Amino acid sequence: MSGVVSGTSRLAIDIHFDLICPWCFIGKRQLTLARSLLADRQPGIVVALEWHPRQLLPDVPEEGVPFAAFYERRLGSPEAVWRRQQQVVWAAREVGLDLDLARIQRMPNTARAHRLLRRVAALRQPALYEALLDRMFAAYFQRGEDIGDASTLWMLAGEVGVPAVLRDDTTPGDASPPPGPTIAGVPHFVFNGRLSVSGAQAPAILFAAMYRAVQSPVAPESA
């Protein structure tokens, strides 16, 4: 791939995710690496990210459920759970993430975490939002912290500098957002509103989608 991008110099990326999805944590890192490739090869492109939390398991009780038992029921046996977790751990290592799934005790309900993320998003401070998102992912997948627990969330928010007023779970404006577009799963990336990529994809694939999205306008498509 060579040459200079013609057309728009702005790239809007919509990312649909849930905090309990390890592939979303991996996908976020892959996106970061893809953005670095884009910055190196096309430094004039301005990238704007819009994060869309989507709750995969809204029926999980507010207090959560035991993590190991949940996945054994879902996958059928401890051996199947172990194989799936090894697949996730190895995929994470390929992008420089060390996961410690053995530390996770609870499968949380992520509604409260999503409400907090929406309040922080309203500040329009992308660096703060990403710092909180990274901290939440790391808390769950690397430290085994319960991100469904209010006190844990407020601690994480405080660590990255979220204003104290936004850490109050009674803050107005916490209603669920209107339903978004139908997607097959998360992570799901949409580039400039017209080209989509599903799943945790290699940085090179995401970079190629970014490059295509900033070319002359085309009809909506999936990569």
What is the helix (H) or strand (E) element at residue 84, kind and residue range? Answer: helix 78-93
pTM above 0.95, yes or no: no
Query: CA 158 to CA 163: how far, in whole Å?
Result: 7
pLDDT band at 179, cuts 50/70/90?
low
Find out whether 132 and 139 touch, Cβ atoms under 8 Å. Answer: no
Query: What digits encode the pLDDT tens for the residues 106-149?
Result: 999 999 999 999 999 999 999 999 999 999 999 999 999 999 99
Find out whether 47 and 38 touch, Cβ atoms under 8 Å. Answer: yes
Length in residues, the chain: 223
Query: CA 198 to CA 206: how far, in whole Å?
Result: 10
Query: CA 211 to CA 223: how far, in whole Å?
Result: 12
Least confident among 7-11, 60-64, 156-160: 7-11
Q: What is the per-residue pLDDT for 223?
A: 59
Q: What is the per-residue pLDDT for 215?
A: 79
Residue 171 has pLDDT above 70, yes or no: no
The amino acid present at 26, given as its one-letter code, is: I
CB neighbours of 137 closer than 8 A, spacing ≥ 6?
A: 19, 24, 25, 28
Of 8, 7, 13, 37, the closest CA to residue 191 belongs to: 13
Least confident among 75-79, 169-173, 203-207: 169-173
Q: What is the 3-state secondary structure (H, E, C) of 89-154?
A: HHHHHCCCCCCCHHHCCEECCCHHHHHHHHHHHCCCCHHHHHHHHHHHHHHHHCCCCCCCCHHHHH
Q: What is the per-residue pLDDT for 43?
A: 87
Phi, psi of 153 (to 5 degrees): -65, -45
Find out whether 38 and 211 touch, Cβ atoms under 8 Å. Answer: yes
What is the CATH class of 9-54+186-223?
alpha beta
Residue 12 has pLDDT above 60, yes or no: yes
Percentage, residues of the chain above pLDDT 70: 86
Find out whether 112 and 150 touch, Cβ atoms under 8 Å. Answer: yes
Spell out the domain ranges in the chain: 9-54+186-223
Find out whether 66 and 107 touch, Cβ atoms under 8 Å. Answer: yes
Query: What digits encode the pLDDT tens for the residues 26-77?
Result: 999 999 999 999 999 988 899 999 999 999 999 999 999 999 999 999 999 9
